[in-house]
Structure 1
Amino acid sequence: MTTGARKLKERWERARERWWVRWGVDLLLFALLFAGVTAWQTRKLPGAGTPAPDFTLRTLSGETVRLEDLRGKSVALTFWAPWCTVCKAESSTLSTLRDTVGERAHVLTVAVAYDTVADVQRFVRERGADYPVLLGDDALQEAYRVDSFPTTIFLSPEGRVTHAAVGYTTRLGFLWRLWL
């Protein structure tokens, strides 16, 4: 074997022994990319520590829900639209989340960007949504600066924004942000 071939073989073997370094670099780059995209998506939403914009909304069943009534527990407040396909996919995750957290936190959704209440009712019926659905409006959507669906705003028990997420969120992602 020539000296050049031997050196190449040795270099290859050393690189194979350090596969974890390559994986680590790849994971680090992925994490940085993920964090960058998340920061970009949430750049206009209310920042952590800011008081959540107040609201008084009606549910599909006609009950009134006020933000101040939710104090004392963490809140996951998801804004969605009946025509949003990602919102349809996330619907079952919200049901599972509500079952998981039980009475320890509030899991609420706000329907916005809909034409009629019948559209919202159809969505809830077709998706089997068993979580509270509040009927929002353009003013509330503007107050929370929501321009993508689904968008979830996480609130502290004191009513301050702790996190925001845009797009599909897994159950683990919801739990992590609720309890962080």
Structure 2
Amino acid sequence: MAVPSFKNLRDAWHRARQRWWVRWGVDLAVAAVLFLAIMAWQTRHLPSAGTLAPDFQLRTLSGEQIRLSELRGKPVVLEFWAPWCTVCKAETSTLSAVRRFVGDRAHVLTVAVDYQNEADVRRFVQEQGVDYPVVLGENALTRSLHIDSFPTTFILSPDGHIEHATVGYTTRLGLLWRLWRAS
């Protein structure tokens, strides 16, 4: 059996590249690999899947106390955000839509962190029309979860274990898919 020459291989590659579906396929594969690599890099220090989320009790803007362990029994979208974060602003509509879609089948809870004062958080909530629970976070909690970028979102299983963690903007479909897998 003859070994194909470099020229033959090059010519075959050029013919294949002229097919639009091959070009698109290669481009999409490269983009997917880059996307997954960036996502893995951003979440490398976050707790891994299967880890029990640390319990915490934090105060809402209305003064109520919410304990994470009291939300067990349903999946939880737990997002950490900062009032100055433009990506967090963009994601408020996503969280609202997910909360409306899942109804009482899951919890959506957000934790405001890295803010100067409570007025900053209240202003963000009012300006963005936030309609989901917001609690005031503490630096110790973000350090324990190794959060250093916003938004950082955890999907928790009904028994309180971390199923998925992501950093940055997440689409409605992405959040719903991750919630469905955690159920």
Would you call these one fold, judging by a TM-score over 0.5?
yes
Structure 1 consecutive aligned stretches of length 4 or more whose deviation exceeds 3 Å: 10-18
| TM-score normalized with structure 2 length | 0.88
SS of alignment partner, residue 87 of structure 2: helix
Letter of the 1:131 partner, please give it. Y
Q: What pairs up with 1:61-140 in 2 under 5 angstroms?
A: 61-140=62-141
The aligned counterpart of 2:24 is: 23
CA distance in 1 between counterparts of 2:127 and 2:18 reads 53
CA distance in 1 between counterparts of 2:34 and 2:153 reads: 21
- Identity across aligned pairs (percent)? 68
Aligned to 2:8: none
- Cα–Cα, structure 1 residues 29 and 11, in superposed 2: closer, same or farther, change >3 Å? closer
Q: Please give the alpha-carbon distance, in whole angstroms, between the structure 1 residues aligned to 2:165 and 2:111.
A: 15
The CA deviation string for residues 11-69 of structure 1, in whole angstroms up to 9 with x for no partner, is 79954773322221211111111110000000011100011011011111111111110
Q: Which runs of 5+ in 2 are unaligned?
A: 1-10
Structure 1: how far apart are the matches of 2:140 and 2:20? 53
DSSP 3-state at the match of 2:115: coil
2:168 maps to 167
2:44 alignment partner in structure 1: 43
Counterpart Cα distance in 2 of 1:151 and 1:12: 42
Deviation track 1:102-122 (CA, whole Å, cap 9, x = no partner) reads 111111100001111111111
Corresponding position: 1:176 with 2:183: no
Change (3 A) 1:16 1:106: same
Q: Distance in 2 between matches of 1:118 and 1:89?
A: 20
SS at structure 2 position matched to 1:179: helix
Separation of aligned partners in 2, 1:68 and 1:124: 24
Secondary structure of the structure 2 residue equivalent to 1:101: helix
Cα distance in 1 for residues equivalent to 2:12 and 2:111: 58
Look up the equivalent residue of 1:34 and give its one-letter code.
Answer: F
Distance 1:123 1:13, change over 3 A: closer
Give the TM-score normalised by the residue count of structure 1: 0.90
**Residues 139 and 12 of structure 1: CA distance in aligned 2, closer, same or farther (over 3 Å):** closer
